[in-house]
Amino acid sequence: MGATPGVLVFDTGPLSHFAQQGWLGILRVVVGDRTAVIPDTVVDELRAGAEQRVHLKLVLDAVWLEHRALTGPDELSEFARFAEMLAAKGRNLGECGVLAYAKANGATAVIDDGPPRKLARAHQVACKGTLGFLCEALHDGLLSIDLISAVADHLLESEYRLPFSTGGFRRWAHEQGLIPPFQ
């Protein structure tokens, strides 16, 4: 299937942690004019946890996140393929839905966890982490490095796994070549 530029498919993890720490609006700014989608597998995960974690209701109610059911032979076939490789004991179904929707529709998966990102690379699914999007927003002048550093530190407070510790975003981003050394 041909590429559908500008469609981002979000996994549960980034949405949950950004909402928990009060930064969900930052993701909306970073998405900009692109379409943001959450597949039904992610919606199911969010609904399952929303009773105990009220911040998940914020994600479910966000008007800028389009809920889409996996339908049609391409999406369902891709879901079955990714579930065979990644799902276990009812876990990782959200990631499987994100990868399936992205693969079948030529969209970009927004996933921060390592194993599904490796699968994305192995199966030619466009994939990006939230830190990459935040750095793009820095380059576009939408966010400052101080703001991104604050967001990253707050995400770490919610036990979100990032590749650095508190206060380490700027150094990590320099080392990854995501931002110039003068910033």
- Of 17, 44, 20, 29, residue with least CA distance to 137: 29
> Which band of pLDDT confidence, cut at 50, 70 and 90, is reported for residue 179?
confident
Residue for token digits 């576009």?
140
Task: Give the number of other CB atoms < 10 A from CB of residue 72.
Answer: 11
Q: How much is the pLDDT for 177?
A: 86
Q: What is the pTM of this model?
A: 0.91
Fold of 7-130: Rossmann fold (3.40.50)
pLDDT of 24 strictly over 90: yes
Residue 152's contacts (CB-CB under 8 Å, 6 or more residues apart) are 131, 134, 162, 164, 168, 169
